[in-house]
Amino acid sequence: MNLILLGGPGSGKGTQAEALKLRFGLLHLSSGQLFRRHIREQSELGKQAEAVINQGNLVPDEITVAMLRERLQASDARAGAILDGFPRTLAQAKALNGLMEELGRQLAGVISIEVADEEIVRRLSGRLVCRECDTAFHQIFSPFTACPFEKCQGEHLYRREDDEPETIRERLQVFHRLTEPLIEFYEQTGLLTPVDGQGTIEQVTRRVLEAAEAFRPSA
Ligand code: AP5
């Protein structure tokens, strides 16, 4: 089963993708995480993406699509993936359609997590991320208590550079301008389920899992 999680920056895509991964045994494929890994390793792709990401803009479509194409072809993506943060432009959505066809796979559904801009600012202003595993915590809403992989004591937590107030504003503008049109695009395909992303993490998880269950192909 291949699912897309659509939503603004900080809407909870990464958090909910982990819940979906646990429930359905799918690969969690986050384009943002892939880029951050490339940046840490200072690969050629990482060097190209770093400045763009830190300014809150989108990495060009050609680079992003090529990275996702390679990742989706890997054997661990064969059983299906939760696409978190991809596609993010109409060009990427069209490229994904072509890629799915090429790989003989199908998109089961798109879950659009809806959160108001003010709430997004509150969430991103308090987010802390683990540099080792990319798990997101929040100073107030989801504080670090234990490492999900039992590997550290929280010593690798950091604040993402693109979570500075000015960059958050830029990312929100980019979302409204370039990514929001995808809601209508997927609505027209009949694949879209909007989910209220406000409320506690557990409340949103219940809604997201319910939406995903409805996409599960019948045996
Ligand atoms: P990416 O890493 O994908 O960033 P994003 O889409 O802006 O999303 P975030 O990771 O910031 O947030 P999230 O929705 O996953 O929320 P989270 O679960 O962490 O991309 C980064 C950059 O890479 C982009 O800006 C772009 O430059 C580039 N990029 C990536 N993909 C690209 C693409 N396809 N094309 C081009 N460029 C691309 O939650 C946020 C916080 O809120 C956490 O602290 C969490 O604990 C907390 N939280 C979550 N849910 C709740 C809740 N219900 N209540 C309270 N707190 C909550």
Residue 5: pLDDT over 90: yes
Residue 219: pLDDT over 80: no
Residue 84: pLDDT over 70: yes
Annotated active-site residue 71? The verdict is no
**Residue minimizing CA distance to atom 17 of ligand 1:** 12
177-181 long-range Cβ contacts below 8 angstroms, 24+ apart: 178/58, 178/88, 178/89, 179/6, 179/8, 179/88, 179/89, 181/90
Residue 136: pLDDT over 70: yes
- Identify which of 37, 127, 158, 178 to mutate to test ligand 1's pocket (most ligand atoms within 8 A of the CB): 127
Which DSSP string do the residues of 154-199 spell out, in sequence order?
STTEE--GGGSHHHHHHHHHHIIIIITHHHHHHHHHT-EEEEE--S
At 217 the pLDDT is 80
Catalytic pick among 36, 123, 127, 207: 127
- 216 neighbors 2 (Cβ within 8 angstroms): no
At 218 the pLDDT is 75
At 21 the pLDDT is 95
Residue found by looking up tokens 């072809």 in the block: 73
**Strand-strand pairing, 157-158 and 2-7:** unpaired
Which DSSP string do the residues of 120-150 spell out, in sequence order?
HHHHHHTEEEETTT--EEETTTB---S-TTS
Structure confidence by residue, pLDDT tens digits, 97-135: 999 999 999 999 999 999 999 999 999 999 999 999 889
Structure confidence by residue, pLDDT tens digits, 14-30: 999 999 999 999 999 99
Q: What's the rounded mean pLDDT across residues 178-193?
A: 97
% residues pLDDT > 90 (the chain): 95
Annotated active-site residue 23? The verdict is no
Annotated active-site residue 88? The verdict is yes
Burial bucket for residue 161 (CB in 10 Å: 0-12, 13-18, 19+): middle
Q: Does the C-beta of 136 come closer than 6 Å to ligand 1?
A: yes
Residue 142: pLDDT over 80: yes
Q: b/e for 83-117, b at 16 or more Cβ within 10 A?
A: bbbbbbbeebbebbeebeeeeebebbbbbbbebee
What average pLDDT does the chain have?
95
